[in-house]
Structure 1
Amino acid sequence: MEEETVYVKRSQRDYSMSLKLQIVQEIERGKLTSSEAMKRYGIQGHGTVLKWLRKFGNFDWENQSPNNMSKTPEQKIMELEAKVKLLEKQKALLEEQAFVSDKKAIIFDMMIELAEEEYKIDIRKNSPPEQSPNLKKNKNKR
């Protein structure tokens, strides 16, 4: 024969602070999931457990990271060393890209000079561009 569970409407005040903290601790330590805690302690709403986790737990819900998980100096040093290596790789890549861009600019300048000499045309304009005759007429009308 199956037991029939009778649900009684409860409020947050029906649970003691020590029970709330105990449930949060058990969930954070991995002893229970929130669903298991609900069944074991007769909590009716899933949101109730989530509220307790947000309110009393050690997880920083704003930044999505544990807030009391302090790192050892060795861990911090290892993280910083990894960050330095990554930044050095990025710097080397950017320097290589800048070198290639400089070489391309030099080659393009040489190509333009050759084209100007070969075809006797000005590709680079040293003077400001002339306005079209239509624009001059429109300005005179105003």
Structure 2
Amino acid sequence: MLKTGKVLRSQRKFSEEFKRKIVHEYEFGQLSIKSISEQYSISLQTVYRWIHQYSNYNNLGVQVVEMKNSQEHKLKVQQKKIEELERVLGQKQLYLEYLEKVIELADEEYNIDIKKNSETLQSGGSKITKTR
């Protein structure tokens, strides 16, 4: 530790095999550059340098830029989700109207009150009831 309170970091050495493993994880989409940096405590610059050195896809002189999802892409995903939820809501509404019609027809045709009322006595289940 220095007098100023700063801690000196010793320089770490990484094997070529480890570096290739890191680049492989990035190339196959297993981890982003930021997550690699955080997970292994390696600076972003070091990860970018290893990608330039060991990547099969990147050539020297080509700048690697990892793009985040654009706002437009996020908006499209959210719009699709809204459409799906509206479709499901419409189906549920149709099913609710169907059930209400069945209850109404049961009351009209068979004189059966399916709706639960607090005043309605519960059926014993084993009694024989007279029909009209």
* TM-score interval for Structure 1 and Structure 2 normalised by the shorter chain: 0.3 to 0.5
Structure having the larger proportion of residues in helix: 1
TM-score w.r.t. length of structure 1: 0.43
- Which protein has the larger Cα radius of gyration, Structure 1 or Structure 2? 1
TM-score, normalised by the number of residues in structure 2: 0.46
